[in-house]
Structure 1
């Protein structure tokens, strides 16, 4: 065990953990922020996505020792009242069915809109690739991202389009 200092959602945390513990388990089991989900454990499904210095990162496969000094943001840190434009668009478009993948989907969408405020369908497909939705709500995900983009003042609402997110 070692003392590891992490900044999660702008709060400093000193954790007494194995430095090789995956960040996901430090966030969920030690800090108690359970919005970030375990899906596959091999960084393939996206359920565990968090931001490291603003970049979407799979937290299940990165040790806490590798993120010391970086700003970690979880789904709980996106907004205080679930009122981020992406979260509001998710509700408006009724994106979640089972909801399990949604925190990772939202984290990836927020990062996309920070980098590309007016994304095309191709931009969305590329940014969201690897975020698996077992319920198949990819078309609603794309619509919600366009709606959030418009809400953020970047582009007009986009019409419905053919879902290709997650398809290979």
Structure 2
């Protein structure tokens, strides 16, 4: 058996020596790691700054697009308004045409018109006839079918050409196809 005996006593290290040993051996690793972290943060900051610049350029481009498209949008709104007005006018004309077609389809042959006046929601007819019964039959047909909300015989009198009359019809109801 062999024994190893160390007769030299180990000297106690001072705390200053321990600190110097630590600084010389381990602090350099800490500094390298810190520098790597700083470089990583620097590149990350560079990347974020570049993204911000790209976003600002994108916003500037979008602002330019908006500025360029504003006149087009205004013109499109004007055209839409004109189109709506045209549709409204066509709808009113369609209503008047339907009302006139309806009236003329029921109009007796022995009634003669001298004047027709078209107003916003009403139609006035002035005319004459030799047969007063045809006026009554015409009014009866109109009231039975109920296509107008208001049907008035405003005036009837005996004149030079026969019985002179004035009708007023208002608020024609367009029948919807089923």
TM-score, L = length of structure 2: 0.22
Q: Larger radius of gyration, structure 1 or 2? A: 2
Q: Which has the higher contact order (CA 8 A, sep 6+)?
A: 1
Choose between structure 1 and 2: higher helix proportion.
2
TM-score when normalising by structure 1: 0.23
Higher normalized strand content (fraction of residues): 2
